[in-house]
Amino acid sequence: MSAAARRVIVVGAGIAGIACALRLARAGVAVTLLETRKKLGGRATSFIDPRTGEVLDNCQHIAMGCCTNYLRFCRMLGVRDRLQWLREICWVETGGRVSVFRPGLLPAPAHFAGAFIGAAFLTSAQKARVALAMGAIARCDRANHTRQTFAQWLTAHAQRDDDIRRFWEPVVVSACNLTPARVCAATALHVFQEGFLAHRDAAAIGVSAVPLLQLYDPAEAALRAAGGVLRLGTSVTRITPREVECADAPLLHADAVVCALPFERAARIVDGAVRAADPRFDRLAALTHSPILGVHLSFDRPVMPMPAAALVERPTQWIFRKDEEGRRVHAVISAADDWMPLTEDDITRRVTDDIRACFPAAASAQVTASRSVKEKLATFAPTPEAEAARPDTLGPNALEGVVLAGDFVRTGWPATMEGAARSGFAAAAAVLGEPLAGAIEPPLKPGVTVRALCPALAAMR
């Protein structure tokens, strides 16, 4: 692709599609952004609950301090101030004991050392084993571990089953939406390297203070101000490198087409002849999904004193407080395959049992409202096989192919909002003929200690 592409169609208005369209429009490209649904955001969005009329997020999505491209995306939309930042992570055990992880005075990668030493939910022996493995993570080249699972890597580094259940699994499942037994080791290693070791601000959690859908409110005005066009409710039926066919509109022509749809839709909508000539689409067959369950609960009294908590060895993995009092909470279960067949009553009962087990104030609290949201196609499953199959932004014949964007594209990140934003900016760079290095926001700069003690980690960034 090159700067000669002055008319571009972007299909799909999730984070990847919006990021790509905004970047292209700012470069003077005439962009048309198409979306099948009547709202923006893709899978990271909100809906109106027909039972109550409330606007609810389909699931609790978070950013982290290390998500530099997602934060750039928010700045482009002018919504960076709509994120609330949490500087500590609470781990809550059955019975209510709380361990708080917050950065201490030491520089990265040792900034969590004090909190880790004081963590009550781990024994001294567990801490010693985890610390040794964390040191190995800080020194290893994750690119050498794409063919094994994280569980295999952990076992090779003397981690026991109880270490994995209590410490490694809660982090990996929430970040990668897959268990250590299935997730690619390189993907999980990336989470710990980038999110916890490389920079003291990397693990800060950013939660939207407004419904997710409101984060995208400025997108249409920003796109139009730059000369672009947004068309919602437009059903796309076929894509080629220069054309987009819609169900209820004339054939659209462009100098380049960016497909920012989920991988399963891209495999259906891209023209058959185009797919046959591009090996990227054959590899999409190796990608599968992993589901996420979000559960909105309201109680008749306050039940949760902290903004967010990871529940230790409970089926419900994370709880987020959704009001100041702590009466309304949002529970998240990632890698939720076993939960998908359950009824809403069963889901409510199980999540409520976990909350009551971990928060004494909830012991006699009654649920006044419940709404579960099953995202069966929430993310791709980042297995070793999937990591090898993730497609590049451009095909082998870069000047003639469909440009791909989406969190499943080979971004170096798991299926996250950061991965989606990175892919959108990379797709825009491909269309413009710009080098990727200048199109992607660099990661947080590692400090002197990280560069001295963990040169491999600093180099990989």
Q: Catalogue the E-assigned strands of 270-365.
A: 289-299, 308-311, 318-321, 328-334
When mean pLDDT is compared across 144-148, 355-359, 394-398, the lowest value belongs to: 394-398
Band the pLDDT of 192: cuts 50, 70, 90: very high
- pLDDT score for 438: 86
What percent of the chain lies above the pLDDT cut of 70? 98
Q: What is the pTM of this model?
A: 0.95
Q: Quick one: average pLDDT of 341-353?
A: 98
Q: What is the mean pLDDT of residues 108-119?
A: 96
What are the helix and strand counts (H, E) for the chain?
A: 19, 20
Task: Match 């939720």 to its residue by tokens.
Answer: 336
Number of residues that make up the chain: 461
pLDDT value of position 60: 93
The model's confidence at residue 346, banded by pLDDT at 50, 70 and 90, is: very high
CA distance 205 to 103: 12
Residues 171, 175, 181, 185: what is their CA dihedral angle, to the nearest 10 degrees? -100
Q: What CA–CA distance (Å, rounded) separates 300 from 197? A: 40
Burial of 356 per CB tally in 10 Å (0-12, 13-18, 19+): middle
Q: CA-to-CA distance for 3 and 431, rounded, in angstroms?
A: 7
pLDDT (average), residues 217-229: 90
359 neighbors 124 (Cβ within 8 angstroms): no
pLDDT for 78:
95
Residue range 265-279, pLDDT digits in tens: 999 999 999 999 999
Token pair in block for residue 225:
């101000």
Residue that wins the pLDDT comparison between 139 and 460 = 139
pLDDT at 5: 67
Q: Which residue in 256, 337, 327, 259 sits closest to 292, CA to CA?
A: 337
Helix, strand, coil share of the chain (percent; to 5):
40, 20, 40
Q: How far is CA 13 from the centre of its chain?
A: 16
Q: Give the pLDDT of residue 397.
A: 81
Query: Residue 144 to residues 129, 140, 148, 453: CA-CA distances in angstroms?
Result: 22, 8, 9, 20
Interval 21-70: pLDDT, tens? 999 999 999 999 999 999 999 999 999 999 889 999 999 999 999 999 99
CA distance 75 to 261: 23
| 371-382 pLDDT tens trace | 999 999 999 999
pLDDT at residue 437 greater than cutoff 90: no
**Taking a C-beta distance cutoff of 8 angstroms, is the pair 189, 153 a contact?**
yes
Specify which residues 374 forms β-bridges with.
Answer: 293
Q: Contact at 8 Å (CB) between 141 and 193? A: no
- The pLDDT score that the predictor gives to residue 4 is 61
Q: What is the largest CA-CA distance in the chain?
A: 67
- Statement: residue 2 has pLDDT above 90: no
Average pLDDT, integer, range 413-429: 96
Predicted confidence band at 458 (pLDDT cuts at 50, 70, 90)? confident
What residue ranges define each of the domains in the chain, with the CATH number in brackets?
7-45+211-287+382-439 (3.50.50.60), 102-203 (1.10.405), 289-380 (3.90.660.10)
pLDDT at 91 over 70: yes
